[in-house]
Amino acid sequence: MVEDIEIDVQGENSYLVVQPSELEDVRTLFTVTPEVMDRLGADDEEDVVRRTVLFLRKHQEVADFPEVIDLEDVIAGYDDYLEAMATD
């Protein structure tokens, strides 16, 4: 659900995402590099972060999100990420 995702800019290329889970809110710091944005063909970092959160939710529980996520690692870890981002 998009409405329960809170995204706060933390500085250049860095976003704090807060999501509710069963026990407590889960806070994850997302890092988005210009290189990732180029690979995705996107220009709205906050939108990319939101869509990445929704993508990751299909693969794991919110409570299992790590404290820090670098989008380079998501690209490397999920073969279907780039395709999913291109079609969403």
What are the b/e assignments for 40-74, b being 16+ CB within 10 Å? beeeebeebbbbbbebbeeeeebeebeeebbbeeb
Kindly report whether the global pTM for this prediction surpasses the value 0.85.
yes
pLDDT digits (tens, 9 = 90+) for 20-68: 888 889 999 999 999 999 999 999 999 999 999 999 999 999 999 999 9
pLDDT at 15 over 90: yes
